[in-house]
């Protein structure tokens, strides 16, 4: 009977390992897909600034959905951070082109473009996701900073370290 329980536990552990490695691979593929699309669009000389903005926003909203689905806060923060690091050059290039494009528009054209943006398929998701996303990742950043500082003070020297030194360790 005990052998059967050990086999069941071992089997479940193996399945869990496969599932966890599958999640990491899926996230890596998602990040690579975002990077490929954003890089290709940023360097595409034939695409209009509006097309570039659409691709960028679609990828940003996709990343936010993906980031919100990650249950582990540290892994979620790492995922979002990696997206930003991998795509900052492409995003900045697209935003610069969009800014220059808008700068050359009349006020009426800018208003019309703003109204058109509200009808884009990604806009509803963006408007709903952005506040939730910012709230989640601000909390994670706050907790990480607080716990990191506390960990450093307690374990790194100020409290525990100095206490151990005074005991001769």
Tens of pLDDT, residue by residue over 82-98, are 999 999 999 999 999 99
Indicate the range of 27-41, 42-56, 139-153 predicted with least confidence: 139-153
Q: Give yes or no for a contact between 12 and 22, defined as CB atoms under 8 angstroms apart.
A: no
The CA radius of gyration of the chain, in Å to the nearest whole number, is 23
Q: What is the model's pLDDT at position 161?
A: 46
- Tens of pLDDT along 94-124? 999 999 999 999 999 989 988 998 899 999 9
| Residue closest to 55 by CA, chosen among 40, 68, 71, 70 | 40
pLDDT at residue 48, rounded to an integer: 95
Q: Give the span between the Cα atoms of 118 and 113, in whole angstroms.
A: 9
When pLDDT is averaged across residues 37-65 and rounded to a whole number, the result is 94
Tell me what the mean pLDDT of segment 149-165 comes to: 50
Report the half-sphere exposure of 54 (CA within 13 A, side-chain side): 12
Q: Residue 56 burial by CB count (10 A; 0-12/13-18/19+): exposed, middle or buried?
A: buried
| Residues found in the chain | 169
d(CA 152, CA 22): 33
Longest CA–CA separation in the chain, Å: 79
Distance between CA atoms of residues 83 and 28, nearest Å: 10
What confidence score (pLDDT) does residue 134 get? 85
pLDDT higher than 50, residue 169 = no
55: exposed, middle or buried (C-beta count within 10 Å: 0-12, 13-18, 19+)?
buried
- Taking the model in full, what pTM does it have? 0.71
């Amino acid at each position: 009977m005990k052998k059967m329980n050990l086999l069941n536990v071992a089997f479940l552990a193996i399945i869990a390992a496969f599932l966890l490695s599958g999640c990491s691979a899926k996230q890596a593929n998602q990040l690579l897909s975002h990077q490929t699309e954003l890089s290709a669009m940023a360097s595409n000389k034939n695409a209009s600034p509006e097309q570039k903005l659409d691709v960028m926003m679609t990828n940003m909203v996709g990343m936010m959905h993906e980031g919100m689905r990650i249950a582990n806060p540290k892994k979620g923060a790492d995922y979002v951070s990696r997206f930003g690091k991998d795509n900052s050059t492409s995003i900045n290039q697209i935003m610069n082109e969009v800014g220059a494009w808008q700068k050359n528009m009349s006020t009426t054209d800018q208003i019309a473009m703003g109204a058109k943006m509200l009808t884009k398929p990604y806009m509803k998701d963006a408007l709903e996701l952005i506040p939730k996303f910012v709230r989640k990742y601000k909390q994670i950043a706050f907790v990480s900073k607080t716990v990191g500082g506390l960990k450093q003070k307690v374990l790194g020297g100020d409290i525990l370290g100095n206490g151990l030194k005074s005991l001769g360790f």
